[in-house]
Amino acid sequence: MAQAHKLDCEAAAAECRFIIQSEDEAEVIELAKRHMWDVHGQDYTDEELRSKHLKIV
Protein backbone atom coordinates (compact mmCIF):
# COMPACT_ATOMS: atom_id res chain seq x y z
CA MET A 1 0.00 0.00 0.00
CA ALA A 2 1.28 3.45 -0.91
CA GLN A 3 2.26 5.93 1.74
CA ALA A 4 -0.12 8.75 2.44
CA HIS A 5 0.56 12.26 3.59
CA LYS A 6 -1.54 13.47 6.46
CA LEU A 7 -2.07 16.82 8.07
CA ASP A 8 -3.85 16.86 11.40
CA CYS A 9 -4.73 20.43 12.21
CA GLU A 10 -5.23 19.54 15.85
CA ALA A 11 -1.44 19.59 16.20
CA ALA A 12 -1.38 23.25 15.17
CA ALA A 13 -4.69 24.44 16.62
CA ALA A 14 -5.91 22.44 19.59
CA GLU A 15 -9.60 23.08 19.06
CA CYS A 16 -9.63 22.24 15.35
CA ARG A 17 -10.57 18.76 14.15
CA PHE A 18 -9.60 19.30 10.51
CA ILE A 19 -7.69 16.38 8.97
CA ILE A 20 -6.48 15.98 5.40
CA GLN A 21 -5.06 12.72 4.12
CA SER A 22 -3.97 11.90 0.59
CA GLU A 23 -1.31 10.04 -1.34
CA ASP A 24 -0.69 13.28 -3.23
CA GLU A 25 1.56 15.50 -1.10
CA ALA A 26 0.96 18.55 -3.28
CA GLU A 27 -2.78 18.18 -2.78
CA VAL A 28 -2.43 17.96 0.99
CA ILE A 29 -0.25 21.08 1.07
CA GLU A 30 -2.64 23.00 -1.18
CA LEU A 31 -5.68 22.12 0.91
CA ALA A 32 -3.81 22.72 4.16
CA LYS A 33 -2.65 26.17 3.07
CA ARG A 34 -6.19 27.14 2.13
CA HIS A 35 -7.57 25.81 5.43
CA MET A 36 -4.93 27.55 7.54
CA TRP A 37 -5.63 30.84 5.81
CA ASP A 38 -9.44 30.64 5.58
CA VAL A 39 -10.08 29.20 9.04
CA HIS A 40 -7.13 30.33 11.14
CA GLY A 41 -5.93 33.41 9.26
CA GLN A 42 -2.39 31.99 9.27
CA ASP A 43 -0.19 32.09 6.21
CA TYR A 44 2.14 29.09 6.00
CA THR A 45 4.67 28.40 3.29
CA ASP A 46 4.73 25.03 1.55
CA GLU A 47 8.00 24.25 3.30
CA GLU A 48 6.67 25.10 6.77
CA LEU A 49 3.70 22.84 6.24
CA ARG A 50 5.83 20.05 4.83
CA SER A 51 8.45 20.13 7.58
CA LYS A 52 6.31 20.96 10.60
CA HIS A 53 2.82 19.65 10.02
CA LEU A 54 2.77 16.82 7.53
CA LYS A 55 3.10 13.24 8.65
CA ILE A 56 3.69 10.14 6.58
CA VAL A 57 1.12 7.51 7.46
The SS3 assignment for 31 reads helix
- Chain-centroid distance of CA 12 in Å reads 9
Report in angstroms how near the CB of residue 55 gets to Zn ion at its nearest: 15
Cα–Cα distance for residue pair 7/25, rounded to 1 Å:
10
Q: Which of residues 9 and 49 has its CB atom nearest to Zn ion in the complex?
A: 9
Angle 52-37-27 (CA atoms, 0-180°, nearest 5)? 60
Task: Decide if residue 20 touches Zn ion (CB under 5 A).
Answer: no
Task: Decide if residue 18 touches Zn ion (CB under 5 A).
Answer: yes
Report in angstroms how near the CB of residue 48 gets to Zn ion at its nearest: 15
**Which residues would be at the binding site for Zn ion (CB under 5 A)?**
9, 13, 16, 18, 39
